Structure 1
Amino acid sequence: MKIGKFDYINNYLPYYYIEKKKLAEIVTATPKEMIKLLESRKIDYAPIPSFYYLKHKDRFKRYRFCVASNGRVYSVIVVSKDGKIGKKVGITSETTTSVNLLKIILAEKGIKCKLVPTNSFKANDILKSCDSALVIGDSALEARKRFKVVMDLGEEWKDLTGYPMVFGISASIDNAEICDELLIKSLRWGLKNFDEVVKSAVERFGIDEEFLRTYFKALKHEMDEKCEKGLKAFEEFCRDYKLL
């Protein structure tokens, strides 16, 4: 079995047990890369960006594992040097879901600014030509240390809808239920052995333990009724704003 994994710290906990016990081959990639790997059948199962899934539902089987937050997500953020969004927001090259989520949030808040696609994924590069930057994953965690957070998109979405934001949803081309079961088992093991996972992550990434505990607890990785409603709300907003 080849299971895809977003190449970000936010997936460390749910995949920890699988990787520790070498229960499957794990292939790491960015969200955009993951789509290509899955569609070319180079991997059997993986989380993919929610926006892409919603746009191409007919191509995929969908499962329980997800990448979501019920409020602040910490690693999908808009940052700037002065704490203001400004007129030009540079968009990381790594995302599709987050840029469309940002479009919805800006429209709902009545904020007018220009979104500028870039070839970079680091805030310091994007901010050389833009007032603020949308960054995700580990680049967002790094940006939090150097710049001011203007928006946390998970928090903004929860304030707007009252639901969790599902950024990624697990999918496959062929039946891969066994992969999903394995990942959910690994997730639950990680939550039960939280201290071990956090200690390992601190040693590997050199990130503050208190922050990692907060970060890991902010993330949701198993679809429930509220996540389903959040995903449905995102789809409806995307259709209302003609993004889908």
Structure 2
Amino acid sequence: MHKIKISAVSYLNTKPFIYGLEQNEIINHIELFQDIPSVVASKLKSGKATIGLVPTAVIPQIPSAKIITDYCIGSDGPVTSVCIYSQVKMEEVEAIYLDYQSRTSVELTRILLKDHWKTNPQLVNAVYGYENKISDATAGLIIGDRSLQLKSSYKFCYDLGEAWKKLTGLPFVYACWVANEPLTEVFSASFNQALKNGIDRIPEVAKQNEFFYPGVDTFDYLMNKIKYPFTDLMRTGVDTFLAQMMTEETVFGNEPSFDVVESSLYK
């Protein structure tokens, strides 16, 4: 029997989704992989997976992309897991290492540096282990579980979800469930219901993961910081970010890598 290949993100914020899928009969009809965001995006673009929890910035680059569920990874203010860390104030930062795990956070950093913090530090593409190089006037963008667990290591923390909210008044969507080919209505409904079931069990999921995230309030993070429903306001946040991202690419002299998002992107 043909199984649909699904690439999910391997972070704490995705655990409710994973729980819902694994506890649902749909698990017998899928192959579920857990990857870092950049790998999820690569699999969807290459066709190695049919469904993925795709970083927002990459969605328009995926052939025939459709956002297929009522759920996402978002925040409406501070997110705590997408942050720039430094030992000096933002206005004193001279260089920033950019996390290699997700393009969305990198593009959001570019926008916020220009329009919110109004600074122009050198941006450096990071490699594994760059967290240890954050010192003096060199800062670092860190996302995901590492961001949650390294928070106490640095003097200053600049939360990108909070900064976006201050800049635009909108929530921010970090990733959406996207398919690169048509799905049956029955499968789509079952997949969406499985995700909902996981979200409904967040207290249980948070409790299960406490041991693996020492020092992290898993309940507060999953219940209060991460916003899962993909509401109309979340869609406005997506459209605003993608349009702004295209503008930034034009400003920096690059050809835009996508067209402004169209309504056909949505299910």
- CA–CA distance in 1 between the matches of 2:122 and 2:68? 35
| 1:232 matches 2:235 | no
For structure 1, the 5+ residue unaligned runs are none
The amino acid across from 2:157 in the alignment is: V
SS of residue matched to 2:181: coil
Who is 2:204 aligned against? 196
TM-score under structure 2 length normalisation: 0.81
Bigger Rg, structure 1 or 2: 2
Residues 97, 130 of structure 2: 8 Å contact kept: no
Who is 2:18 aligned against? 15
Change (3 A) 1:30 1:123: same
Change (3 A) 1:72 1:40: same
Instruction: Identify the match of residue 161 of structure 1 among 157, 168, 173.
Output: 168
SS of residue matched to 1:200: helix
Instruction: Identify the match of residue 40 of structure 2 among 28, 31, 34.
Output: 34
The amino acid across from 1:36 in the alignment is: S
TM-score under structure 1 length normalisation: 0.88
Instruction: Identify the match of residue 3 of structure 1 among 3, 6, 24.
Output: 6
How many residue pairs align between the two structures? 240
SS of residue matched to 2:54: strand
Spell out, residue by residue over 1:153-211, the C-alpha distance to the aligned partner (whole angstroms, 9 max, x if none).
011111111111111122122123656544432332233333211111113x14346x1
- CA–CA distance in 2 between the matches of 1:112 and 1:71? 24
Change (3 A) 1:145 1:120: same
Instruction: Identify the match of residue 96 of structure 1 among 103, 107, 119.
Output: 103
SS of residue matched to 1:90: strand
Instruction: Identify the match of residue 65 of structure 2 among 41, 55, 60.
Output: 60
Who is 2:79 aligned against? 73
Residues 46, 171 of structure 1: 8 Å contact kept: yes
Runs (4+) off by over 4 Å: 177-180
The amino acid across from 1:189 in the alignment is: N
Change (3 A) 1:186 1:149: farther
Mean CA deviation greater in 225-234 or 73-82: 73-82
- CA–CA distance in 1 between the matches of 2:79 and 2:101? 17
For structure 2, the 5+ residue unaligned runs are 251-255, 257-267
Residues 70, 220 of structure 1: 8 Å contact kept: yes
- CA–CA distance in 2 between the matches of 1:29 and 1:122? 20
- CA–CA distance in 1 between the matches of 2:22 and 2:130? 28
The amino acid across from 2:14 in the alignment is: N
| 1:184 matches 2:192 | yes
The amino acid across from 1:26 in the alignment is: L
Instruction: Identify the match of residue 106 of structure 1 among 97, 108, 113.
Output: 113
Identity %: 23
The amino acid across from 1:32 in the alignment is: S
SS of residue matched to 1:33: helix
Residues 94, 121 of structure 1: 8 Å contact kept: no
SS of residue matched to 1:242: helix
- CA–CA distance in 2 between the matches of 1:66 and 1:72? 16
Residues 79, 123 of structure 1: 8 Å contact kept: no
